[in-house]
Protein backbone atom coordinates (compact mmCIF):
# COMPACT_ATOMS: atom_id res chain seq x y z
CA UNK A 1 0.00 0.00 0.00
CA UNK A 2 1.43 3.35 -1.02
CA UNK A 3 0.84 6.16 1.49
CA UNK A 4 -0.79 9.34 0.24
CA UNK A 5 1.78 12.14 0.10
CA UNK A 6 -0.15 14.13 2.75
CA UNK A 7 0.30 11.26 5.25
CA UNK A 8 4.09 11.75 5.27
CA UNK A 9 3.78 14.48 7.90
CA UNK A 10 6.24 13.40 10.61
CA UNK A 11 9.80 14.73 10.41
CA UNK A 12 11.92 11.73 11.41
CA UNK A 13 15.64 11.33 11.99
CA UNK A 14 17.12 8.09 10.68
CA UNK A 15 19.99 6.95 12.92
CA UNK A 16 22.66 4.26 12.56
CA UNK A 17 24.63 2.63 15.38
CA UNK A 18 28.33 3.37 15.81
CA UNK A 19 30.34 0.90 17.86
CA UNK A 20 33.59 1.74 19.63
CA UNK A 21 35.63 -0.65 21.75
CA UNK A 22 35.36 0.01 25.48
CA UNK A 23 38.77 -1.46 26.33
CA UNK A 24 37.25 -4.42 28.20
CA UNK A 25 36.30 -6.57 25.23
CA UNK A 26 32.86 -4.98 24.78
CA UNK A 27 31.64 -2.04 22.80
CA UNK A 28 30.00 1.29 23.48
CA UNK A 29 27.15 2.05 21.11
CA UNK A 30 26.31 5.59 20.09
CA UNK A 31 23.82 6.71 17.46
CA UNK A 32 24.68 8.88 14.48
CA UNK A 33 22.09 10.78 12.45
CA UNK A 34 22.11 9.55 8.85
CA UNK A 35 19.25 11.57 7.37
CA UNK A 36 16.13 13.55 8.10
CA UNK A 37 13.07 12.30 6.24
CA UNK A 38 9.32 12.71 6.13
CA UNK A 39 7.29 9.70 7.14
CA UNK A 40 3.90 8.32 8.13
CA UNK A 41 3.48 6.43 11.40
CA UNK A 42 0.79 3.78 11.76
CA UNK A 43 0.16 1.91 15.04
CA UNK A 44 -0.26 -1.83 14.46
CA UNK A 45 -0.37 -3.69 17.80
CA UNK A 46 0.39 -3.15 21.45
CA UNK A 47 1.06 -5.42 24.40
CA UNK A 48 2.31 -5.51 27.96
CA UNK A 49 5.95 -6.39 28.61
CA UNK A 50 7.72 -7.50 31.78
CA UNK A 51 11.32 -6.57 32.47
CA UNK A 52 12.72 -7.51 35.88
CA UNK A 53 10.13 -6.15 38.33
CA UNK A 54 8.70 -3.53 36.00
CA UNK A 55 5.68 -3.67 33.78
CA UNK A 56 5.71 -1.59 30.66
CA UNK A 57 4.33 -1.63 27.20
CA UNK A 58 5.56 -2.30 23.74
CA UNK A 59 3.88 -1.54 20.46
CA UNK A 60 4.58 -2.25 16.87
CA UNK A 61 4.33 0.61 14.44
CA UNK A 62 4.89 0.85 10.71
CA UNK A 63 6.88 3.83 9.49
CA UNK A 64 6.45 4.58 5.78
CA UNK A 65 9.06 6.73 4.05
CA UNK A 66 10.22 7.40 0.52
CA UNK A 67 12.62 4.72 -0.71
CA UNK A 68 16.24 4.86 0.42
CA UNK A 69 18.94 2.27 -0.27
CA UNK A 70 20.63 2.67 3.12
CA UNK A 71 17.83 1.67 5.55
CA UNK A 72 18.50 -1.55 7.51
CA UNK A 73 17.03 -3.36 10.53
CA UNK A 74 19.99 -2.35 12.74
CA UNK A 75 18.93 1.30 12.44
CA UNK A 76 16.24 3.34 14.18
CA UNK A 77 14.03 6.39 13.75
CA UNK A 78 13.81 9.23 16.26
CA UNK A 79 10.74 11.44 16.49
CA UNK A 80 11.00 14.05 19.23
CA UNK A 81 11.41 11.87 22.35
CA UNK A 82 10.28 8.64 20.70
CA UNK A 83 12.77 5.96 19.66
CA UNK A 84 11.57 3.53 16.98
CA UNK A 85 14.05 0.65 16.42
CA UNK A 86 13.64 -0.90 12.96
CA UNK A 87 12.92 -4.66 12.95
CA UNK A 88 12.19 -5.19 9.23
CA UNK A 89 12.32 -3.14 6.01
CA UNK A 90 9.88 -3.89 3.20
CA UNK A 91 9.54 -2.48 -0.32
CA UNK A 92 5.82 -3.32 -0.63
CA UNK A 93 5.49 -2.88 -4.39
CA UNK A 94 9.05 -3.73 -5.38
CA UNK A 95 9.23 -0.47 -7.32
CA UNK A 96 11.68 1.42 -5.06
CA UNK A 97 9.14 4.20 -4.38
CA UNK A 98 8.39 3.70 -0.68
CA UNK A 99 9.64 1.64 2.25
CA UNK A 100 7.54 0.26 5.07
CA UNK A 101 9.61 -0.26 8.20
CA UNK A 102 8.25 -2.42 11.00
CA UNK A 103 9.40 -0.85 14.27
CA UNK A 104 8.96 -1.82 17.91
CA UNK A 105 8.63 0.94 20.48
CA UNK A 106 9.00 0.17 24.18
CA UNK A 107 7.74 2.13 27.18
CA UNK A 108 10.09 0.49 29.69
Which CATH number fits the domain that encloses residue 10?
2.40.10.270
Structural domain that includes position 44: 5-106
The structural domain count of the chain equals 1
Residue that wins the pLDDT comparison between 29 and 78: 78
pTM as predicted? 0.83
Question: CA separation (Å) from 58 to 20, 27, 66, 100, 104?
Answer: 29, 26, 26, 19, 7
- Asked whether the predicted pLDDT for residue 85 surpasses 70, the reply is yes
Which segment, 17-31, 39-53, 79-93, is predicted with the most confidence on average? 79-93
Give the model's confidence band at 51: pLDDT under 50 very low, under 70 low, under 90 confident, else very high: low
Amino acid sequence: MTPAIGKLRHRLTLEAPSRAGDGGGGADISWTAVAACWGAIEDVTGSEAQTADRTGGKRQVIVSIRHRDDVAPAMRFRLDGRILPIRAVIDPEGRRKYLRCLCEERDL
